[in-house]
Chains A and B, each alone.
Chain A
């Protein structure tokens, strides 16, 4: 079983990633840390609490993290108007974030992982501010992290928040640079691959009908934030970016990965742009790999199959409302 921390900015597709991870016996989720990104950090922490309650896993602690990027001016996601998930879609909960800071939790967990000799995996689906800060605190933090799996970047695909940049990289490019340059092994899931798997109406219907209250909430949120763009994607459906790094931990065979030397631009004009060199010694020597292709049908089947375990958990979600 792989011990993971989910560092996220829920966010609709973050919610999908959290539900997928919690439905997977291969993963032990030590905690969910949140950051400002899709929404302000108070909303992302509240949404993480709601996500865990929805999954019937209020035992998993939530830690609120950084409220703004390291140095650049703050931006939020395209769907930031959603803010905290509405109660009629994702029920209210009495679960609250723990008092400790997300950066402290990540650093402490990594130090303990060093002590116990079992390094952690971090699954990052938001801006990388918390991770950059944790890696700055203490060399043991780096030593305690086996791998960071990240949703972020765009190499051959155009960006989604700017023509040249993907949202998570654009929102805190300096933090992204710090993480990518840290030497910690990284698996990156950029738009190039996340746009290969689109959630269509038939998938949402299966979620709504077969995955209990969690599935209904996720399907409703997808419809609240219309993600389809037939002009861009050439077919109906919307991307579900953040499930990719979780799915990789469950079924790496679904992804074609390539080693690369990668970087992110922190300058003014193309801030947040990610670049990769797939050739030569730099790529071979680097500690990063980038997802190039995904088996989209198998991926969506994996998601829907795992979400169906929530159908039988409906009874346990009855305790959500205090």
Chain B
């Protein structure tokens, strides 16, 4: 089996960290690099957190590239559920590696140039604001054909927003970059709050990771207990929604997901609805559908997948 070449663009972030650990445990994915962006926490912290997660997984061979420290047009905002440093209350050892030299956007350009020359394509996962990808597409629109598709966590269609009434954090944090990406011709899989709110890491589910005594299992258990929103009125249960891990899960086990095709627009000028994702499912806009919106997720299947993958990390005695 040949593995799928991917680049993970992220802002770790507690749920980004779980998404990375899941991806790193899968032989189906060939992670060419991790690019980080300003989002849940500033880019200096997302860089450090990405390095720490790769070291935790024993995969320091994968390079981390620091990306944009701010959104294109709007002022930066940061996440609310990731703690001061971005990984909740978890303290991982200081990274022994540094970020790779050069900018995340330059790395993306080089990888896509090579792919284009070799008549290959790379899948890009976006787990944070889309600033790096927006800059990439405006600098080098010719590289679009080298992107197989963009699998993105972000947006809210039938669900309400999580940072404002209408808007999910990643879209709100850089609505202009998101608009650039969603108005491109690149195929997109959109994993929005519609999907992630179906996959709640309830305390019972979080417990399932405790038996894995190694550092990865303990770390994920700690992440999930920190992640508990404790808001049954909103989510129907305790626990936190599994936003970013669904992106890497989608690539490993697409059979757990149902999708619906639509054209997607991102609001970037309304003060009330800034960052809102608007789906045209019924051809009202006259534009060609360009997005597969995930409408349904097999939540039990996802947690079984996560458990099975995290069990692959050999226990490391502390």
Q: Measuring CB to CB, which residues of chain A are less than 8 angstroms from any residue of chain B?
A: 66-68, 70-71, 101, 103-104, 107, 129, 132-133, 136-139, 174-175, 177-178, 181, 266-268
Does the CB pair A101–B70 fall under 8 Å? no
Q: In the complex, how many angstroms separate the beta carbon of B212 from the nearest chain A beta carbon?
A: 39
For residue B72, CB closer than 8 A to chain A, the reply is yes
Write out, one digit per residue, whether chain B residues 127-143 have a CB within 8 A of any chain A CB (1) or not (0).
00001000100111100
The answer to whether B141 and A67 touch across the interface, beta carbons within 8 angstroms, is yes
Report the bound CA distance from A101 to B109 in whole Å.
Answer: 11
Query: Is B295 at the interface (CB under 8 A from chain A)?
Result: no
Q: With A and B bound together, what is the CA distance between A103 and B141 in angstroms?
A: 14
Query: In the complex, are the beta carbons of A137 and B68 less than 8 A apart?
Result: yes
Contact call B269/A136, Cβ cutoff below 8 A: no
Cβ–Cβ contact A133 & B176, under 8 A: no
Q: Decide if B268 is an interface residue (CB 8 Å cutoff).
A: yes
Task: Find chain A residues with CB under 8 A from B68 CB.
Answer: 136-138
Query: Among residues 2 to 42 in chain B, which have CB atoms less than 8 Å away from a CB atom of chain A?
Result: none
Q: Is the CB of B106 within 8 A of A70?
A: no
Name which residue of chain B comes closest to A102, CB basis.
B139
B73 in the interface (beta carbon within 8 A)? yes
Complex: A102 Cα to B69 Cα, angstroms: 19
Contacting pair A66 B139 (CB below 8 A):
yes
A66, A68, A71, A129: which contacts B179 (Cβ < 8 A)?
Answer: A71
Chain B window 171-213, contacts with chain A (Cβ cutoff 8 Å), 1 for yes, 0 for no:
0000010011001000000000000000000000000000000
Query: Given the complex of chains A and B, what is the CA–CA distance between A227 and B135 in angstroms?
Result: 35
Contact indicator A136/B135 (Cβ below 8 Å): yes
| In the A-B complex, the 5 residue pairs with the closest CB atoms | A174-B73, A178-B73, A139-B69, A136-B68, A136-B72
- Give min CB distance, B105 to chain A, whole Å: 7
Provided the pairs A133-B135, A136-B135 are in contact, do residues A104 and B69 lie with their beta carbons within 8 angstroms?
A: no
Report how far A101 CA is from B108 CA in the complex, Å: 14
Known contacts A70-B73, A132-B73, A136-B135; 18 further A-B pairs (Cβ under 8 A): A66-B139, A67-B141, A68-B138, A68-B141, A70-B72, A101-B140, A129-B138, A133-B138, A133-B139, A137-B103, A137-B135, A174-B72, A174-B176, A177-B73, A178-B73, A266-B73, A266-B269, A268-B269
The yes or no answer to B71 lying at the interface (CB within 8 A) is yes
Q: Complex Cα distance A136/B137, Å?
A: 14
B62-105 toward A: CB 8 Å interface, digit per residue (1/0)? 00000011111101000000000000000000000000000101
Residues B139 and A178 in contact, CB atoms below 8 Å apart? no
Can you list 29 contacts pairing A with B, beta carbon distance less than 8 Å? Answer: A67-B141, A68-B138, A70-B72, A70-B73, A70-B138, A70-B176, A71-B176, A71-B179, A71-B180, A101-B139, A101-B140, A104-B106, A104-B139, A107-B103, A129-B138, A132-B73, A133-B139, A136-B68, A136-B71, A137-B68, A137-B105, A138-B69, A138-B103, A139-B70, A175-B73, A177-B73, A181-B75, A266-B73, A268-B269
Name the residue of chain B whose CB is nearest to the CB of A176.
B73
CB-CB under 8 A for A136 and B70, given A71-B268, A101-B140, A268-B269: yes
Chain A residues closer than 8 Å to B103, beta-carbon distance: 107, 137-138
Across-interface contacts of A67 in B (CB, < 8 A): 141
- Name the B residues within 8 Å of A101 (CB-CB): 139-140
> In the assembled complex, which residues on chain A have CB atoms less than 8 Å from the CB atom of B141?
67-68
Query: Which of B103-117 touch A at CB < 8 Å?
Result: 103, 105-106
Chain B residues whose CB sits within 8 angstroms of the CB of A266 once the complex forms: 73, 269
Judge whether A267 and B176 touch: CB under 8 Å: no
Q: What separation, in Å, do the CA atoms of A170 and B115 have in the docked complex? A: 36
- Are A178 and B72 closer than 8 Å at their CB atoms? yes
Whose C-beta in chain A lies nearest to the C-beta of B141? A67
Partner of A103, one of B69, B75, B139, B269: B139
Residues of A within 8 A of B179 (CB): 71
**Shortest beta-carbon distance, B127 to chain A, in Å?**
19
B192 CB, min distance to chain A CBs, angstroms: 21
- CB contacts (< 8 Å) of A68 on chain B: these are 138, 141
Residue numbers in B under 8 Å from A103 (CB-CB): 135, 139
Which residues of B have CB within 8 Å of A107? Answer: 103
Residues of A within 8 A of B176 (CB): 70-71, 174
| B180 closest partner in A (C-beta) | A71
CA distance A6 to B23 in the complex (A): 45
Residue of B nearest to A65 (CB): B139
Residues of A within 8 Å of B138, CB to CB, are 66, 68, 70, 129, 133
CB distance from B230 to the nearest CB of A (A): 36
Chain B residues lying within 8 Å of A104, measured Cβ to Cβ, are: 106, 139
Specify which chain B residues have a CB less than 8 angstroms from the CB of A136 in the assembled complex.
Answer: 68, 70-72, 131, 135
- In the complex, what distance in Å separates the CA atom of A136 from the CA atom of B138? 12
Most buried by A among B135, B138, B268: B138
